[in-house]
Amino acid sequence: MTRTAPAYFPPPDTGLDVRHIDADLLIVDKPSGLLSVPGRGPGMDDNLASRVQARYPEALTVHRLDMDTSGLLVMARNAAAHRALGCQFEARQVEKEYIAVVAGRVAESERRIDLPLIADWPNRPRQMVDFVQGKPALTHLAVLSYDAASDTTRVCLMPETGRSHQLRVHLQAIGHPILGDDLYAPPEILGQASRLLLHAAALAFRHPVSGDWLAMRSAPPF
């Protein structure tokens, strides 16, 4: 049976946190709890894209972050930039780093998580590991620190692919669910945080017009 979507309570609109803007693109820092694009259901027309387009009507969505994930997101300001940026994402030429806090102690200082993913159709929007029909999904993990008091590990995640919920499913699959994850963490882990502790902390790519390497960073708010 399909899961019932929880009620949507987006964070107050206190203005855009624009980290970069030029004639062709803008990079904003999305708060946790805000949809990237419109969702299905009452009130889900309040989202990052609509907030950006209220100020920059020409803005076009290039990629998305999960509603509960915070961090950097790029939007194009014209059709040519939209095509060029989309091609970079599709060709996996965009470098992305996420910071997360996960349950337990991750033993290896670095780890490669190579687990194919597929939609868990009876339990949408959940995804799951499937070695037969799943699509390739690869995440690189590096441990940043361990907190013995809370038995949690802060990690840097560098996905090579961009499957839906990839980081959340990969961390759960190796036994270290992300704190605050209402889809994949057990209740005792979910309750350790008031939000999903996952943040898109770095984004780097070629500028769609100049070709210059553009790199942005955002400190996680947790």
Q: Which residues of 35-57 are buried (b: 16+ CB within 10 A; e: fewer)?
A: bbeeeeeeebebbbbebbeeebe
List alpha helices for the chain, DSSP H.
48-55, 79-90, 166-173, 187-190
Given a contact cutoff of 8 angstroms between Cβ atoms, the answer to whether 76 and 21 are in contact is no
- List the catalytic residue out of 24, 46, 66, 130: 66
Residue type, 213: W
Place of tokens 């309570």: 9
Q: Burial-class residue 211 by CB neighbours within 10 Å (0-12, 13-18, 19+).
A: exposed
Collapsing DSSP states into helix, strand and coil, what is residue 173?
A: helix
Verify whether residue 66 is a known catalytic residue: yes
Query: What is the CB neighbour count within 10 angstroms for residue 24?
Result: 17
Residue numbers annotated as active site: 66
